[in-house]
Amino acid sequence: MPSTSANTVVVLDFETTGLSPNMGDRAIEIGAVKLVDGEVVDTFQELMNPGFRVSSFIEGYTGITNNMLRTASGCEGVMSRFAEFIAGFNLVAHNASFDKRFLDAELARFHAGYSGQFTCSMLIARRLIQDSPTHKLGDLVHFKGIANDGVFHRALADAEMTARLWLLMLDELDQQGIANPTFAMMQTISRTSKQALPAFFNKQRSKASL
DNA sequence: TGCCAGGCCCTCTTTAGGGCCTT
């Protein structure tokens, strides 16, 4: 059983066959990085075979082809290994409501789950990086000059960029004297409401609206 | 290419509507 640390998070990203598991869409790739006290200590990346052909749009969008998926492991085996990877850790994703739906759906297929809390880097970026014209992951990476290798829409590459964005926002909070910035950001849960937002983020929004 | 869904959030709002963001 891994040790749980308040400053440990797993940043994850799914590539999928579409937008909605409720409409029959499945995961085709999972990528993740594990951060401990701001350092990458482990990574996870696996393709998974959804059991049917993906559309040409998804092949073009992700670069993941049906030929690549033909020899990939099934979703259950991959997700079983991923469940072990995230066990006991809090989770971060960009537009987390999307990744959470697929994580929940894929794990539910074999009655698995996770105990960590999910939070959303996009919701935090909307508060902390209000001068960015958009809050798409790629646009934020370019806007903030975050290092990248030019690969987008692959799971590990997007998880790595989300992790760098997460660390950048932690630094910004730290420089502003926010105590325990990881805890502050983890309070901005994907299912949060205005009332549930930490006072700090409400202050940021109030200042921006002046 | 961009629709499918769904949660968040803003506004010309709250008995609603629509943009953003994810693949």
Work out if A130's Cβ lies within 7 angstroms of strand B: no
In whole angstroms, B3 C1' to A176 CA is: 43
> Residues A97, A99, A104, A105: is their CA dihedral positive or negative?
positive
Nearest to A49 by CA among A62, A33, A68: A68
Specify the pLDDT at position A136: 96
Specify the pLDDT at position A208: 42
Nucleotide nearest to A64 (CA to C1'): B23
Q: pLDDT, tens digit, for every residue of A127-139?
A: 899 999 999 999 9
Residue nearest to nucleotide B1 (CA to C1'): A57
Work out if A114's Cβ lies within 7 angstroms of strand B: no
Sequence ranges of the domains in chain A: 9-209
> Both tokens of residue A54?
């993906």
Quote the CA–CA distance of A98 and A106 in Å, as a whole number.
13
Work out if A151's Cβ lies within 7 angstroms of strand B: no
In whole angstroms, B18 C1' to A71 CA is: 42
Nucleotide nearest to A61 (CA to C1'): B23
In whole angstroms, B13 C1' to A194 CA is: 15
- The CATH number assigned to the domain with range A9-209 reads 3.30.420.10
Specify the pLDDT at position A4: 54
Specify the pLDDT at position A29: 98
Residue A19 contacts residue A98 (beta carbons within 8 Å): yes
Nucleotide nearest to A136 (CA to C1'): B21
For residue A74, the cross-strand partners are A49
Quote the CA–CA distance of A187 and A118 in Å, as a whole number.
9
Nearest to A138 by CA among A127, A154, A124, A118: A154
A202 alpha carbon, distance to own chain's centre: 23
Residue A78 dihedral angles phi and psi, to the nearest 5°: -65, -45
- Per-residue HEC secondary structure of chain A comes to CCCCCCCEEEEEEEEECCCCHHHCCCEEEEEEEEEECCEEEEEEEEECECCCCCCHHHHHHHCCCHHHHHCCCEHHHHHHHHHHHHCCCEEEECCHHHHHHHHHHHHHCCCCCCCCCEEEHHHHHHHHCCCCCCCCHHHHHHHCCCCCCCCCCCHHHHHHHHHHHHHHHHHHHHHCCCCCHHHHHHCCECCCCHHHCCHHHHHHHHHHCC
Work out if A14's Cβ lies within 7 angstroms of strand B: yes
Residue nearest to nucleotide B4 (CA to C1'): A19
- pLDDT band, residue A162 (cuts 50/70/90): very high
In whole angstroms, B4 C1' to A188 CA is: 28
Work out if A198's Cβ lies within 7 angstroms of strand B: no
Specify the pLDDT at position A209: 38
Q: What pTM, to 2 d.p., does this model score?
A: 0.88
Specify the pLDDT at position A85: 97
Residue nearest to nucleotide B21 (CA to C1'): A95
